């Protein structure tokens, strides 16, 4: 729960000592606080040839109320910003020595159609990266490669991944770098996602690639308030009594949702206490029980539900030669099969309403595999399959399904890992530290957001751009 | 070029010292040698419910001439093997204490349709893994998730990835673990791929997922000899003068191909010497020159070509703030745009014959990004896009396009990396060592194989299951 090294090297004495010894100094990440402005500072805009997203970016900049400066690659920005009545200026290369003036770098690469047109990306980040402050944000915007008309365009757009991930590894200082592919026609659906990636809510999300598609069904977003986007919505969270589940419940409640927390009967007291603080509803069910999905459906039937977060999960680690059949079966069942049973029950009865959200919790182990976790990694890889397979099925009903894949998160579970392994897990990422439960919870809240209707079938890692992958 | 730690800990004194100090002892990997049998030993067969691939596996076992034993999960194997006239027996759990009797573990998971049916995988690997010898092989066979009829089946098949990657991390001792998804109807196209993954040719390929699809065009494979599969075929290799390129040329020539090596004029002497040893043809061209693609096409026009390997590549590492425009441009151009120009020239003129093979070289940096390599990672991510975008276009002509993505390979280039970084790169994989150029070359030879007609659009890492990924 506590990274004492991070605290130490950010104390006055510790910082001096770390500097003199050449030790790594992980940045204290800025995280969302309701009492601080969510957006501020100066955003630099860059662009490749014929950018398609500047209008949408101008709307975003207007909505969140930041000041922008145009890099020379984005000559179209100044007149556009003027038309939107925005304060804007030009980014002067001479300023590039003055570190820390910018809070975000946004590059619109959507018009790049050939590998020979990638040069403006170099120009922009070459000129601006040193001016980006601590915990700054890098967002590259492109078109989904697989939807591109020509192989040349697909290739150039796919190349953006290598750039963005490299920038995340170079930038350090708590800076995140993410790539957002915007489908043709989805330009007006980018705001919720860009707000997430620009804000402190995405503190531990870096090196990710997210696709925004055209929303199924209605043209207009259902109305919502950016300050309470989940107001009037009902959210089920499994495993909500403690830890990451309680954090998810808390963040969804803060965004306005009524939370129905589910946990096993033995955790009833903790669940009741967590739900009482959030004005939520506690339901004690063991999701491993065959009858649980029907019971959960019955309990939710009358009022329905808008958001389902499958957070409940267990580990029973052993190498496979020493793993009992029961340890294998229970991990697969609780982490994967129970999600399938619950979703099927809620979907068949229409309890999960149209326009709803399903969010699973996968894991870096499900992506990369892990020693001693054949059961856990199999179940968490299955969660990825679940998301990818269900997304097209649910599209007609406007329901999205996605998963988060946490890396090293500081919890009671990870606190039990032996120190040297824990330290390796903590430091082997671009943030040089573990994440907090709230980082997972905020990512889930973005996926649950009514403005995220175009985000479905995706796996988003919350791992600080962990080195570990597949 | 030389891993002195690996050599030391595998010497009699070094092994004793490593054992007493608890140091890691990377296994000396078995690699292909023409003077040794490619396949031998005892293969254990396991299966989930209603396996679809046992017939194809029986054909394979017959073809390569190994002895098999059936795990209790694969009760159908014994009568099937008997019908094929194979020596076979039953795997006795009592033997599981006697380490090292098995050379491969093959599990047919193709009939698994639901997460509740995954248990036989645990049973099989629980019982057999300890009996698998050094440099043994684990192959899990399934169905491509995205082609599954139901979300439940897709989910269960996708879960196999988490298992296979975990097994690779647990097994150690030079053992590889890979997952092969066989499309419905492609059952008869598995032999070349399974031969590769079973043999010493795939020594450094682990943790990979490969899909075998139905071959486009002709139903029958064009005839070939398993001992000289590339006989009569012409293969172009760029960057062939030295290093990995020379190794690729050498392996393709050993498989029977006539190799046309291309390299820059300044490397002409080395290129001539390499090609002379292989009875190949040397072509000195600078692929960065705008006219090079037309010149290469003209040089190859008369006799045509069957295999194109885009191996030429350069690095010009700097953080982006210090990277010159020229360093950015030349890396993108040589590593990516030149491949596009050459392919387009060869394809437009029909010089690359129907049924041909294009093989690109990507990199772990292209997958995960890398500090100081924004240019290189962008170009190598673009190679992935190139493969994915061109595969469907080339299908009608029976041409496949794939890429290898090397991890840490022992070359003159990596020998220049500072020792501590080099050691980290070498050890952070399931083999605890770097790969050899021949590991990349053998993987390319498998993709170039006439029996690999169903393998296209794929990226195969040659990285010893590196921890590093995205």
Tell me how far apart the alpha carbons of residues A136 and A124 are, in angstroms, rounded to a whole number: 15
Quick check: A449 pLDDT over 80? yes
Residues 6+ apart with CB under 8 A from B263: B238, B239, B240, B241, B245, B270, B271, B282, B284, B312
Query: For chains A and B, what is the number of CB pairs under 8 angstroms?
Result: 268
Which among A223, A226, A224 is positioned nearest to A198, based on CA atoms?
A226
Which residues in B lie closer than 8 A to residue A122 (C-beta atoms)? 320, 323, 325, 328-329, 374-375
Tell me how far apart the alpha carbons of residues B180 and B141 are, in angstroms, rounded to a whole number: 5
Q: Which of A72, A378, A424, A456 to mutate to test the interface with B (most CBs of B within 10 A)?
A: A378
Tell me how far apart the alpha carbons of residues A68 and B113 are, in angstroms, rounded to a whole number: 52
Q: Would you give the DSSP letter of residue B371? A: T
Q: Specify the pLDDT at position B100.
A: 60
The closest CB to that of A382, out of B129, B155, B373, belongs to: B155
CB contact under 8 A, B320 and A129: yes
- Bridge partners (DSSP) of residue B305 are B352
Token pair, residue A278, equals 């959030």
Please give the distance of CA B38 from its chain centroid, rounded to a whole number. 17
Q: Which residues of B are catalytic?
A: 376
Which among B269, B280, B123, B409 is positioned nearest to A320, based on CA atoms?
B123
Quick check: A69 pLDDT over 90? yes
Which residues in B lie closer than 8 A to residue A393 (C-beta atoms)? 151
Which residues in A lie closer than 8 A to residue B382 (C-beta atoms)? 115, 155-156, 158-159, 162
Token pair, residue A214, equals 């055209």
CB contact under 8 A, B152 and A340: yes
CB contact under 8 A, B374 and A167: yes
Residues 6+ apart with CB under 8 A from A353: A304, A305, A306
Q: Are B58 and B84 in contact (CB under 8 A)?
A: yes
Secondary structure string (H, E, C) spanning chain A: CCCHHHHHHCCHHHHHHHHHHCCCCCCCCCCCCCCCCCCCCEEEEEECCCCCCHHHHHHHHHHHCCEEEECHHHCCHHHHHHHCCCCEEECCHHHHHCCCCEEEEEEECCCCCCHHHCHHHHHHHHHHHHHEEEEEEEEEEECCHHHCCCHHHHHHHHHHHHHHHHHHHHHCCCCEEEEEEECCCCHHHCHHHHHHHHCHHHCCCCCCEEEECCCCCCCCCCCCCCCCCCCCCEEEEECCCCHHHHHHHHHHHHCCCEEEEEECHHHHHHHHHHHHHCCCEEEECCCCCCCHHHHHHHHHCCCCEEEEEECCCCCCCCCHHHCCHHHHHHHHHHHHHHHHHHHHHHHHCCCEEEEEEEEEECCHHHHHCCCCCHHHHHHHHHHHHHHHHHHHHHHHHCCEEEEEEECCECCHHHHCCCHHHHHHHHHCECCCCCECHHHHHHHHHHHHCHHHCCCCCCEEEECCCECECC
Q: Which of B326, B378, B427, B467 to mutate to test the interface with A (most CBs of A within 10 A)?
A: B378
The closest CB to that of B118, out of A119, A160, A332, belongs to: A332
Which residues in A lie closer than 8 A to residue B123 (C-beta atoms)? 325
Q: Specify the pLDDT at position B23.
A: 76
Quick check: B457 pLDDT over 80? yes
The closest CB to that of B162, out of A207, A321, A381, belongs to: A381
Quick check: A187 pLDDT over 70? yes
Mean predicted confidence (pLDDT) in A455-460 = 98
Per-residue pLDDT tens digits for A170-185: 999 999 999 999 999 9
Percent share of chain A, pLDDT over 90: 87
Report which secondary-structure segment, H or E, holds B309: strand B305-310
Which residues in A lie closer than 8 A to residue B116 (C-beta atoms)? 332-333, 337
Token pair, residue B146, equals 């995205």
Judged by DSSP in three states, B97 sits in helix
Beta strands in B110-171 (DSSP E): 132-142
Contacts of B257-264 spanning 24+ positions with Cβ under 8 A: B257/B230, B257/B231, B257/B233, B257/B306, B257/B307, B257/B448, B258/B233, B258/B234, B259/B235, B260/B234, B260/B235, B260/B236, B260/B300, B260/B305, B261/B237, B262/B236, B262/B237, B262/B238, B262/B287, B262/B296, B262/B312, B263/B238, B263/B239, B263/B312
- From A5, A181, A204, A376, the catalytic residue: A376
Per-residue pLDDT tens digits for A275-297: 999 999 999 999 999 999 999 99
Tell me how far apart the alpha carbons of residues A225 and A121 are, in angstroms, rounded to a whole number: 35
Mean predicted confidence (pLDDT) in B206-210 = 98
Neighbours of A18 (CB within 10 A): 18
Judged by DSSP in three states, B33 sits in coil
Quick check: B116 pLDDT over 60? yes
Token pair, residue A157, equals 């757009």
The closest CB to that of A389, out of B121, B154, B340, belongs to: B154
Which residues in B lie closer than 8 A to residue A459 (C-beta atoms)? none
Q: Specify the pLDDT at position B289.
A: 97
Tell me how far apart the alpha carbons of residues A146 and A457 are, in angstroms, rounded to a whole number: 15
CB contact under 8 A, A163 and B115: no
Q: Specify the pLDDT at position A217.
A: 59
- Which spans in B349-418 are helix H? 364-368, 374-394, 412-415
CB contact under 8 A, B366 and A162: yes
Q: Which residue does chain B place closest to A372, by CA atoms?
A: B170
Tell me how far apart the alpha carbons of residues B330 and A85 are, in angstroms, rounded to a whole number: 41
Which among B277, B247, B262 is positioned nearest to B444, based on CA atoms?
B247
Token pair, residue A453, equals 């209707």
Q: Are B133 and B103 in contact (CB under 8 A)?
A: yes
Measure A330 CA to nearest chain B CA, in Å: 10
- Give this prediction's pTM: 0.96
Mean predicted confidence (pLDDT) in A131-151 = 97
To the nearest whole number, what is the mean pLDDT of chain B?
94
Residues 6+ apart with CB under 8 A from A382: A332, A335, A336, A366, B115, B155, B156, B158, B159, B162
CB contact under 8 A, B369 and A156: no
Measure B405 CA to nearest chain A CA, in Å: 12
Strands A102-108 and A88-90: unpaired
Which residues in B lie closer than 8 A to residue A374 (C-beta atoms)? 122, 125, 162-163, 166-167, 170
Q: Specify the pLDDT at position A1.
A: 59
The closest CB to that of A370, out of B166, B378, B379, belongs to: B166
Q: Specify the pLDDT at position B176.
A: 98
Per-residue pLDDT tens digits for A371-403: 999 999 999 999 999 999 999 999 999 999 999
Q: Is B207 exposed, middle or buried, given 0-12, 13-18 or 19+ CB atoms closer than 10 A? A: buried
Measure B161 CA to nearest chain A CA, in Å: 6
The closest CB to that of A385, out of B157, B163, B393, belongs to: B157
Q: Specify the pLDDT at position B196.
A: 98
Tokens 């995280």, located at residue: A31
CA angle A72, A77, A79 (to 5 degrees): 115
Q: Specify the pLDDT at position B219.
A: 45
Q: Which of A129, A175, A382 to mutate to test the interface with B (most CBs of B within 10 A)?
A: A382
Measure B227 CA to nearest chain A CA, in Å: 33
Q: Which residue does chain A place closest to B159, by CA atoms?
A: A382
Q: Which residue does chain A place closest to B152, by CA atoms?
A: A386
CA angle B228, B229, B231 (to 5 degrees): 70
Q: Are A139 and A176 in contact (CB under 8 A)?
A: no
Q: Specify the pLDDT at position B98.
A: 52
CB contact under 8 A, A323 and B393: no
The closest CB to that of B389, out of A116, A151, A372, belongs to: A151
* Least confident residue range of A77-91, A146-160, A288-302: A77-91
Quick check: A115 pLDDT over 60? yes
Measure B198 CA to nearest chain A CA, in Å: 21
Which residues in A lie closer than 8 A to residue B159 (C-beta atoms)? 332, 336, 378-379, 381-382, 385
Mean predicted confidence (pLDDT) in B94-98 = 52
Which residues in B lie closer than 8 A to residue A372 (C-beta atoms)? 170
The closest CB to that of A371, out of B170, B368, B468, belongs to: B170
Which residues in B lie closer than 8 A to residue A379 (C-beta atoms)? 115, 159, 162
Q: Specify the pLDDT at position A24.
A: 78
CB contact under 8 A, B379 and A162: yes
Measure B364 CA to nearest chain A CA, in Å: 10
Tell me how far apart the alpha carbons of residues B382 and B332 are, in angstroms, rounded to a whole number: 9
CB contact under 8 A, A161 and B368: no
Which residues in B lie closer than 8 A to residue A385 (C-beta atoms)? 145, 154-159
At residue A45, what are phi and psi to the nearest 5 degrees? -110, 130
Per-residue pLDDT tens digits for A202-233: 999 999 999 999 986 554 457 899 999 999 99
Q: Would you give the DSSP letter of residue B337? A: I
Q: Would you give the DSSP letter of residue B41? A: S
The closest CB to that of A169, out of B168, B329, B370, belongs to: B370
Measure B431 CA to nearest chain A CA, in Å: 14
Percent share of chain B, pLDDT over 70: 97
Q: Which of A24, A93, A107, A115 to mutate to test the interface with B (most CBs of B within 10 A)?
A: A115
């Amino acid at each position: 729960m506590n990274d004492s090294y991070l605290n130490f090297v950010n104390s006055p004495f510790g910082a001096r000592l770390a500097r003199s010894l050449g030790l790594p100094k992980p940045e204290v990440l800025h995280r969302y606080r309701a009492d601080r402005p969510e957006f501020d500072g100066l955003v630099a805009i860059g662009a490749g040839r014929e950018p398609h997203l500047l209008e949408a970016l101008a709307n975003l900049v207007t909505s969140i109320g930041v000041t922008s400066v145009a890099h020379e690659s984005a000559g179209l920005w100044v007149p556009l910003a003027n038309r939107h009545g925005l304060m804007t200026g030009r980014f002067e290369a001479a300023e590039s020595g003055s570190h820390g003036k910018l809070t975000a770098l946004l590059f619109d690469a959507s018009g790049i159609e050939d590998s020979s047109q990638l040069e403006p990306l170099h120009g922009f980040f070459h000129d601006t990266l040193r001016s980006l402050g601590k915990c700054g944000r890098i967002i590259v915007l492109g078109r989904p490669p697989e939807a591109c008309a020509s192989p040349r365009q697909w290739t150039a757009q796919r190349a953006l991944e290598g750039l963005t991930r490299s920038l995340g590894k170079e930038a350090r200082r708590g800076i995140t770098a993410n790539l957002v592919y915007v489908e043709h026609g989805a330009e007006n659906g980018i705001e919720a996602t860009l707000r997430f990636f620009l804000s402190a809510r995405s503190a531990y999300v870096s090196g990710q690639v997210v696709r925004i598609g055209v929303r199924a069904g209605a043209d207009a977003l259902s109305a919502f308030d950016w300050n309470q986007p989940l107001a009037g919505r009902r959210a089920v969270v499994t495993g909500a009594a403690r830890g990451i589940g309680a954090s998810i419940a808390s963040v969804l409640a803060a965004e306005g949702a009524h939370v129905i927390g589910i946990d096993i009967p033995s955790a009833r007291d903790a669940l009741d206490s967590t739900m009482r603080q959030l004005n939520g509803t506690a339901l004690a069910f063991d999701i491993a029980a065959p009858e649980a999905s029907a019971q959960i459906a019955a309990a939710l039937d009358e009022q329905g539900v808008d958001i389902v977060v499958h957070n409940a999960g267990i580990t029973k680690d052993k190498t496979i030669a020493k793993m009992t059949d029961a340890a294998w079966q229970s991990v697969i069942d609780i982490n994967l099969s129970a999600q399938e049973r619950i979703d099927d029950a809620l979907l068949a009865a229409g309890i999960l309403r149209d326009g709803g959200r399903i969010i699973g919790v996968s894991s870096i182990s499900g992506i990369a595999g892990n020693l001693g976790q054949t059961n856990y990694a199999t179940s968490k890889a299955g969660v990825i399959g679940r998301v990818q397979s269900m997304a097209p099925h649910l599209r007609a009903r406007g329901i999205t399904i996605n998963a988060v894949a946490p890396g090293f998160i500081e919890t009671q579970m990870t606190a039990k890992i032996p120190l040297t392994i824990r330290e390796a897990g903590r430091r082997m990422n671009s943030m040089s530290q573990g994440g907090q439960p709230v980082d997972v919870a905020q990512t889930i809240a973005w996926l649950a957001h009514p403005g995220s209707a175009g985000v479905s079938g995706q796996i988003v890692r919350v791992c600080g751009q962990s080195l570990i992958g597949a």
